[in-house]
């Protein structure tokens, strides 16, 4: 069969989602440092940076005491939380965008990966 062995074949024949791609899925390392929190439709995502390997990890693991927070939507915008869309000049966001464009951002789960990609499409 022509589709057999392809991602589309898995989708059409085996009912696997096309979005369930294990690319960039990895658990954060022990050498990560917490950088900031992203708020996205009442979800909190932790942005971690691996100082040893120079890559970012987006994780559901959040440091709730960390003061640096960005909201991806106006619905999540609160006092002391910066709106992501207007923060492109922030050094935190610039570094994350640069890493994303270079393929140096990993996600701990498929769900987090989907959320983050939505954030990138709508907010930046």
* Assigned domain for 5 exists: no
* Assigned domain for 43 exists: yes
Is residue 9 predicted with pLDDT exceeding 60?
A: no
Residue 4 has a pLDDT of 64
Domain with 96 in it:
24-123
* Assigned domain for 65 exists: yes
Write out pLDDT tens, residues 25-36.
Answer: 999 999 999 999
Residue 21 has a pLDDT of 82
Is residue 1 predicted with pLDDT exceeding 70?
A: no
- The candidate with the shortest Cα–Cα distance to 25, out of 110, 115, 120, 111, is 110
Residue 17 has a pLDDT of 56
Is residue 42 predicted with pLDDT exceeding 60?
A: yes
Report the number of distinct structural domains present in the chain. 1
> What is the signed CA dihedral for 92, 94, 99, 103, rounded to 10 degrees?
130
């Amino acid at each position: 069969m022509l589709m057999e062995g392809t991602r589309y074949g898995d989708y059409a024949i085996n009912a696997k989602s096309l979005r369930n791609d294990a690319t960039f899925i990895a658990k954060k390392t022990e050498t990560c440092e917490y950088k900031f929190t992203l708020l996205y439709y009442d979800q909190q995502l932790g942005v971690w940076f691996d100082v040893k390997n120079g890559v970012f990890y987006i994780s559901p693991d959040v440091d709730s005491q960390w003061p640096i927070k960005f909201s991806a939507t106006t619905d999540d915008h609160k006092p002391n939380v910066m709106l992501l869309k207007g923060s492109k000049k922030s050094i935190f966001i610039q570094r994350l965008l640069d890493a994303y464009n270079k393929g140096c951002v990993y996600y701990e789960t498929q769900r987090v990966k989907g959320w983050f990609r939505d954030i990138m499409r709508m907010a930046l």
